[in-house]
Chain A
Amino acid sequence: MINNLKRVLMTGNEAIAEGAIQAGCGFYAGYPITPQNELIAYMAAHLADSGGVFIQAESELAAINMVFGASACGVRAMTSSSSPGISLKQEGISYIAGAQLPAVIVNVMRGGPGLGNIWPSQADYFQATRGGGHGDYRSIVLAPSTVQECYECMPLAFSLADQYRMPAIILSDGMLGQMMEPVLMRSHKPLAISHKPKWALGNSKGRSPNVAKSFYLREGDLEKVNLLLQKKYKTIEAKEQRYQGQYLDDAKVVLVAYGTMARIIKSITHKLRGQGKKVGLLRPITLWPFPVQAFERLALGKMAKKFLVVEMSAGQMLEDVKLVINGRSAVGFLGRLGGGMPSEEEIIKNITSLL
């Protein structure tokens, strides 16, 4: 762990690992896969120094189930991988959601489907925001767009996971994971809230035994658990929406993008504003809960706005934007697939056609 308050040049993957350690992560299990290998290597080098446990697991399946075990003991636990490996973890994430355990899962997305390639992509949005595994469940999904944010989203992810006892996913991508930026280290003390749950396994002296499980065989019991989960998800949808807005007040065209894509859109927005063009940026930080409140405010505003969703996918977040806009405004889309990224020229051309 880095102990001094200073700027450190690091990759997005390393910033996530350092952010996790400073957030009090006590357990990490992972399996190598490109482009997230800097993360597992950073954990191998530094987690033990902070009193945490690092395990290179025999598979993605073992890694996520190790996270289940550590989390069941009340220890802040995380794993990381990239798209194909995250697909392998889905059964385990479903169990974690069902057993109501906190856990943080990092997906440094790459091109798919299948083995795809190792280029940056945003094509795992559906998988992350719709549950991904079997059953009616959700994960909190955070999308950093700078290396600084990679570092800062980790204490938030652990705190939210602990508070709501559920999986929190960091949706990064190969570009953000590999790029280096200076990161301002905020503190050398654990950043997340304290965590000593009553439900944790361990020394059972003076209490009745605790059981970590997602299995409810008796008629009606599983429905009750599911209703409890849904109630929790409603609370999160109401209280935990996060986004960043730029030039939204008078924007005629609102660009919607997250993560790496939002970085590019941000600089384009500045450029076009310099030319007097009324464009704005709405960058969701929580992909689930999706920041519908921000869109509602824009849709109810007096000025007629058009939306342009830009993604490194075939249009996945686009569906969430369309759901909230619900036909009240035009929603356009620009995307590149399989590890491609829309060019600045292409994006500006699309914006200009809407202005």
Chain B
Amino acid sequence: MKKIFSHPRSLRKVTTHYCPGCGHGIAHRLISEVVDELGIREKTIGVAPVGCAVVAYDYWDFDCSEAAHGRALAVATAIKRVKPKTIVFTYQGDGDLAAIGTNETIHAANRGENLTVIFINNAVYGMTGGQMAPTTLVGQKTATTPKGREVKGQGYPLKISEMLKVLPGVKYLERVSLHSPQEILKAKAAIKQAFLNQIQGKGFSLVEIISPCPTYWGMSPRQSLNWIKEVMLKEFPLGRIK
């Protein structure tokens, strides 16, 4: 008899600290499944962000490094350069990657660093209590946009993946979502592609994952999945960007 489904070797059996309906747990598992399937657990190094996923290394059963807020791609760049045989990825939220760490994101991409980036976009700062993120939608209420995000003074949702498209050093960009089982399978395929690109030495690959945050969207888990599908994806359309 052949075993076709089990707990991923790369995912520790620990209790989750994430809120009900949060997407981080799914994303952590998808990465673990991909690492297992590619047989790279012993040479994988994950770089955790500052944000809700700050203790991602408590879930993954492979080597990890922390990084100061926004600096994951600086840390990852050095790790990959001094240990080129390892497989290095960063796991970053929208605040980490597209606000405080925009500089590191753009320059690591522009240098064409052979890295894999998993970018969790949930349009809000979770760990600090639901403040406006660079990706917060126009009109979306947060702790720091109590009347909803206004274009005047607060600008538009930042589309970092589309911005990165113009850089020659970037080899692969895809936006995926966690709002349904079908989309989760597509997300896994994109993550796998981004890791394969690194294994094959192709260069900078980034997967943007639209992920639910029921707690700071003020919704039930079910409502938040519908909100992704009906509202968020209009601003952040899915599919291959590059």
Binding site for B on A (CB under 8 A): 26-27, 29, 53, 55, 57-59, 61-63, 65-70, 72-73, 75, 77, 91-92, 95, 99, 201-205, 209-215, 217
Contact = CB atoms under 8 A, between A and B. Distances in A.
A205 B41 CA distance: 9
Given A26-B82, A213-B57, A62 B74 contact: yes
B75 A75 contact: no
A66 B68 CA distance: 11
7 contacts: A27-B82, A58-B106, A59-B103, A65-B75, A66-B74, A95-B68, A202-B83
B62 A209 contact: yes
B65 A58 contact: no
Please list the 3 inter-chain residue pairs (A to B) with the smallest Cβ-Cβ separation, ordered nearest first. Answer: A69-B78, A69-B75, A65-B71
Given A26-B82, A65-B71, A55 B77 contact: yes
A204 B78 contact: no
Contacts of A73: 78-79, 82-83
Contact of B78 (A27, A95, A99, A205): A27
A280 B55 CA distance: 55
Which of A61, A63, A217 gathers the greatest number of chain B CB atoms within 10 Å?
A61
A213 B47 CA distance: 10
Contacts of A75: 82
Contact of B74 (A65, A215, A217): A65
B64 interface: yes
Given A53-B81, A65-B74, A69-B79, 18 more contacts: A58-B106, A58-B107, A61-B70, A61-B71, A61-B74, A61-B103, A65-B78, A68-B74, A70-B79, A203-B42, A203-B43, A204-B62, A209-B57, A209-B61, A211-B63, A212-B64, A213-B66, A215-B55
Contacts of A205: 42
Nearest to B17: A217
A186 B238 CA distance: 61
Interface in B30-60: 41-43, 45, 47-48, 54-55, 57, 60
Contacts of B76: 69
Contacts of A217: 55
Of the candidates B48, B78, B83, B107, the one having the most CB atoms from chain A within 10 angstroms of its own CB is B78
A69 B79 CA distance: 5
B107 A201 contact: no
Given A70-B82, A72-B79, A92 B68 contact: yes
Contacts of A55: 77-78, 81
B104 interface: yes
B65 A211 contact: yes
Given A92-B68, A205-B42, A213-B65, A69 B74 contact: yes
B196 interface: no
Interface in B151-196: none
Contacts of A213: 48, 57, 64-66
A91 B100 CA distance: 14
B236 to A, nearest CB: 26
Contact of A66 (B77, B83, B103): B77
B104 A70 contact: no
Nearest to A70: B78
Interface of B: 41-43, 45, 47-48, 54-55, 57, 60-68, 70-71, 74-79, 81-83, 85-86, 103-104, 106-107
Contacts of A211: 57, 63-66
Contacts of B83: 73, 201-202
A73 to B, nearest CB: 5
Contacts of B107: 57-58, 62
Given A72-B65, A211-B64, A213-B57, A67 B104 contact: no
Nearest to A26: B82
A61 to B, nearest CB: 6
A212 B41 CA distance: 17
Nearest to B63: A201
A68 B54 contact: no
Contacts of B79: 69-70, 72-73, 201
A65 B48 CA distance: 13
A66 B75 contact: yes
A212 B61 CA distance: 14
B63 to A, nearest CB: 4
B66 A66 contact: no
Contacts of B74: 57, 61-63, 65-66, 68-69
Among B48, B74, B81, the most chain A Cβ lie within 10 Å of the Cβ of B74
Nearest to A98: B66
Contacts of B62: 204, 209
A62 B54 contact: no
A66 B106 CA distance: 15
Contacts of B57: 209, 211, 213
Q: Which of A29, A55, A69, A217 has the most CB of B within 10 A?
A: A69
Contacts of A67: 78
Contacts of A99: 66
Nearest to B66: A213
Given A202-B63, A204-B42, A209-B62, A68 B75 contact: yes
A210 B71 contact: no
Given A27-B82, A201-B83, A204-B42, A212 B65 contact: yes
* Most B-side CB within 10 Å, residue of A55, A72, A204, A210: A72
Contacts of B61: 209
Nearest to A27: B82
